[in-house]
Amino acid sequence: MKDVLIVGGGYGGIAALKTLAPRKDITITLLDQNPYHFLQTEGYSLIAGTLPFDKTIVNLNSLCQSYGENISFIHNGVSHIDLDSKCVYIEQKEQIFYDYLIIATGSVTRMMDSIEGLQNCSYGIKSLRGAFHMKQFFEKELFTRLENHKHAKAHYSIVVGGAGLTGVEIAAEMQHYFNRYYKNNTLACDKITIHLISGSDTVLKGMHPDIIKYATKHLEHLGVILHCGLHISKVEPHKAYLENGEVIDFDFMLFTGGISATAMVRSIEVEHNKLGQIIVNPTLQIPGHTEAFAVGDAAEILDTKGKRIADTAQAAIKSGIHAASNIEHILNGKEPVAADIRIVGLAIAMGGNYAILSIGSIKMRGKVAHYVKKLIENLYKWPLWIRCRFGFNKACEIEG
């Protein structure tokens, strides 16, 4: 029996697992540093308090249990991968050997070294821990305001550095949260200010002009203060310096200005791009290692014209499926095929029941777009949850 090892149980890793799971002639091991898959695309709902944290995760152990005996989960972090020896080192120094490997370890927030002080004075939101920390921080602040009338009048400022998809969603959702909080509690006090800083001339750089227009208008409507075409030059505790000399005082700073591959991925001896992502062949195989694949945010995924595809859950899922299908091809004695990964559309949460949707030439905004986004999210997670319930019950029966 051939051993397939999937490192990382996020969007890409789970998509690969689901694709290979029906095969009974292989063993599949899923390895993740966390026992859950964090649904990053719903991180904004967690922070805004519209979803409890257990509704933003999928239990990886139960998920693997739901499949056959040949599929198992190991809760452990990978410290290094030696592609030449086909060996993965886990954090307790154990080694796991494989016949086929899929690297799907995602990415981390890129705290740019060029911005002095950024690393020490701001937070990222890529992990459940980060999102949870931020949620607790804000709720504590609001509670303190509720209890202490004097404090309620104190000005409170949040800086969101980076106005891509993540920055826009978080800024809109938090501003909506605060607006709702003040309205519901009829508190007479200064509003909390959210500053969204974009190094580009607009928010959502590279997206369709209509999407940029709708998003800008709605952010302004919510009361988010936009600073476009300005880079952050330096960050000090409670102060963000912009390149035009402006200084923004803040109580909390979140940075969403970019991603990079994890340190573990960057340590693998292969070719990387400037974000540390693994350069893969069109088949998603790692050059020189036909049995090893990299998918999702851990890899540089290109379209058929060689243009880089945005790092999204959608690209991670499609690349995960493709890598798994290519392993199947090889197992069946066929040649692996080149990937043709396309982003079909995008749904952007803009606070409360408002979203912006772009699918091909269809551009939509408002409540309908919000419900379509929710439907897409639910269609992704509900089947996984049903599987987890099945896996959990199966494990309970075995344990007696």
Ligand X SMILES: Cc1cc2nc3c(=O)[nH]c(=O)nc-3n(C[C@H](O)[C@H](O)[C@H](O)COP(=O)(O)OP(=O)(O)OC[C@H]3O[C@@H](n4cnc5c(N)ncnc54)[C@H](O)[C@@H]3O)c2cc1C
Footprint of ligand X (CB under 6 A): 7-13, 31-34, 37, 40-41, 43-44, 77-78, 104-106, 125-126, 165-166, 169, 262, 264, 296-298, 311-314, 316
CB of 42 to ligand X, least distance (A): 8
Q: Which two tokens stand for residue 238?
A: 């409670």
CB of 272 to ligand X, least distance (A): 15
CB of 301 to ligand X, least distance (A): 9
CB of 310 to ligand X, least distance (A): 8
| 3-state SS class at 21 | coil
Q: What backbone phi and psi angles, to 5 degrees, belong to 35? A: -80, 5
CB of 188 to ligand X, least distance (A): 32
| CB of 152 or CB of 162, closer to ligand X | 162
CB of 153 to ligand X, least distance (A): 31
Residue whose tokens read 């303190």: 144
| CB of 41 or CB of 198, closer to ligand X | 41
Side-by-side strand order, sheet with 345-349? 345-349, 355-359, 362-366
| CB of 104 or CB of 121, closer to ligand X | 104
Helices (H), the chain: 11-20, 43-47, 60-65, 118-121, 128-147, 149-152, 165-185, 209-222, 263-266, 313-331, 367-399
C-alpha span between 244 and 150 (Å, rounded): 34
| 3-state SS class at 127 | coil
| CB of 12 or CB of 117, closer to ligand X | 12
| 3-state SS class at 279 | strand
Residue by residue, DSSP assigns 280-348 as --TTSEETTEEEEEE-GGGEE-B-TTSPBPP--HHHHHHHHHHHHHHHHHHHTT-----------EEEE
Q: What backbone phi and psi angles, to 5 degrees, belong to 192? A: -75, 135
Gyration radius (Cα) of the chain, Å: 22
| CB of 46 or CB of 248, closer to ligand X | 46
| CB of 235 or CB of 355, closer to ligand X | 355
DSSP 383: H
Residue nearest to ligand X (CB): 10
| CB of 60 or CB of 152, closer to ligand X | 60
CB of 271 to ligand X, least distance (A): 19
